[in-house]
Amino acid sequence: MAKSTKGIAEKVRELAEPLADELGIWVWDVEFVKEGARRVLRITVDSENGITIDDCEKLHRAIDPVLDEADLIEEQYYLEVSSPGIERELKNDIHIEACEGWDVEVRLYAPRDGSKLFRGVLMPLGENGEIRIGVGEDIITFARDTVAKISTYFEL
């Protein structure tokens, strides 16, 4: 039976994290996705000082033989190691905590006060894990189950 793409991504994360640690970087995200006709295993990494092409290449070289040995993926795939970039999706509490103070867009599943999109400065999570943003002098709080997506954004 084929492994789920989520299960594969989780196992790859387990394999990649110690290698990334050795390089002084951390794994931001792992995705195993279909893009057009091809499968892509994307490992996204970050560090306090940002990520260079050299950082990506070093992890790519380190993880490639480990993935071959683990033999997790039966089909042909492309391995990509990259930076999350300045505009990134925040998928979990670790991402949210890492980006506190950044400008973010919060997209909701259903409109609130006539809008599904809110922009502001990301605040620490609420007591019950609510998403909080500062907009001017106000703090807007969103229940987690109302939020479709949170992304950082950058304006020139």
Quick check: helix, strand or coil at residue 69? helix
Domain ranges of the chain: 5-82, 93-152
90 vs 130: CA distance, rounded Å: 14
Q: 5-82 has which CATH code?
A: 3.30.300.70
Indicate if the pLDDT at residue 13 is higher than 90. yes
Q: 93-152 has which CATH code?
A: 2.30.30.100
Q: Is the pTM of this model over 0.85?
A: no
**In 1-71, which residue ranges form alpha helices assigned H by DSSP?**
5-22, 53-70
How far apart, in Å, do the first and last CA atoms of the chain sit? 49
Instruction: Using the structure block, give the residue that is written with the tokens 């970039």.
Output: 85
> Strands of 78-82's sheet, edge to edge?
26-35, 38-46, 78-82
Q: What is the pLDDT of residues 60-87, one digit of tens each?
A: 999 999 999 999 998 999 999 999 988 8
